[in-house]
């Protein structure tokens, strides 16, 4: 198959590109190398995926895609977004990069691409709200600009599917970690702070937050399985995540154990919109995709520490 991956130089998108190439697919990636975090970090991912044969296009999804993208794409995985729950990110950035960009990509997929077999929207557990413990059928209650705009993007995609314009599904990911995790995310930020002997800011109460921390390799396995179950997944919302739940405090303790050194914790105020608990309900993924995450939490964190050491020390 010929597959398009948006946000291809990002954390999860780059892993999927490599996985699809290893399965013999032709992969075209697109990324705008946003300055949300240092583009040099994305450049490291970009080199990795280009080295295995991914064609990487540097462009924005609000550009004229008819002049950028090939028109013979079979499947689209749409990762590109304004990520994260951040008080410093204005709403207009979430609106532009999550809603408007998704709509522009959809219009290209519907009207310019020759035969879109499946449009896979990558969504998030933040859609559920403070307690992400629901099945896919329960009403979402997002509490952050990120969650609200990702829900809007999801519904844009599914509205196109419901109106018969293209086959599509939406995949809600739960607390993904592992090699290439973004620098502002929990574990990369923590590992960096320990090795550089700087303080690690811990949001008030967050050490007690519960998470379905899910290793990126298990997420890639589920996303790849979509290709063999396209008809069954068409029109569906599907949770992908681990059923094992750990607190943020337990995760911090494991990183300290792996590195062999304590973090210098700096307690800061609560983060608005932060989830209190995520616990992935994956019955639908098990049924439709035969999906079972298998990576032990500590082993996954060891892989992330090893990646950080290789790339940055």
Residues annotated catalytic, as ranges? 146
DSSP 8-state class, residue 74? S
Q: b/e for 176-208, b at 16 or more Cβ within 10 A?
A: bbbbbbbeebbbbebbebbeeeeebebeeebbe
What is d(CA 309, CA 313) in angstroms, rounded to the nearest whole number?
5
Only one residue has tokens 């620098």, namely 183
Using the CB atoms, write b or e for 231-247: b if 16+ within 10 Å: eebeebbbbbbbeebbb
The CB density around residue 35, as the number of other CB atoms within 10 Å, is: 7
Which residues, 6+ apart, have CB-to-CB distance to 159 below 8 Å? none
3-state secondary structure of 269: coil
């Amino acid at each position: 198959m010929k597959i398009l991956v948006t946000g291809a130089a990002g954390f999860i998108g780059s892993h999927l590109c490599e996985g699809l190439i290893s399965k013999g697919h032709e992969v075209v990636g697109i990324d705008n190398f946003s300055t949300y975090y240092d583009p040099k970090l994305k450049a490291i991912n970009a080199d990795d995926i280009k080295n295995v044969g991914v064609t990487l296009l540097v462009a924005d999804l609000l550009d004229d895609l008819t002049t950028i993208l090939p028109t013979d794409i079979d499947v689209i995985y749409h990762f590109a977004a304004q990520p994260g729950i951040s008080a410093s990110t204005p709403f207009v950035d979430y609106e532009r990069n999550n809603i408007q960009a998704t709509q522009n990509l959809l219009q290209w997929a519907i009207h310019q691409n020759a035969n879109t077999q499946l449009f896979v929207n990558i969504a998030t557990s933040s859609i559920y709200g403070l307690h992400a413990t629901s099945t896919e059928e329960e009403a979402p209650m997002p509490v952050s600009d990120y969650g609200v705009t990702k829900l809007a993007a999801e519904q844009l995609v599914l509205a196109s599917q419901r109106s018969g314009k293209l086959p599509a599904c939406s995949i809600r990911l739960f607390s993904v970690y592992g090699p290439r995790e973004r620098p502002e995310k929990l574990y990369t930020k923590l590992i960096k702070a320990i090795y550089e002997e700087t303080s690690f800011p811990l949001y008030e109460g967050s050490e007690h937050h519960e998470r379905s921390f899910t290793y990126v390799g298990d997420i890639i396995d589920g996303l790849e399985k979509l290709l063999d179950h396209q008809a069954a997944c068409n029109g569906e919302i599907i949770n992908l995540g681990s059923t094992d739940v750990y607190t943020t405090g337990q995760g911090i303790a494991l990183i300290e154990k792996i590195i062999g050194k304590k973090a210098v914790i700096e307690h800061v105020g609560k983060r608005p919109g932060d989830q209190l608990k995520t616990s992935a309900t994956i019955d639908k993924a098990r049924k439709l995709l035969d999906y079972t995450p298998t990576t032990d939490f500590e082993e996954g964190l060891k892989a992330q520490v090893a990646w950080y050491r290789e790339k940055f020390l």
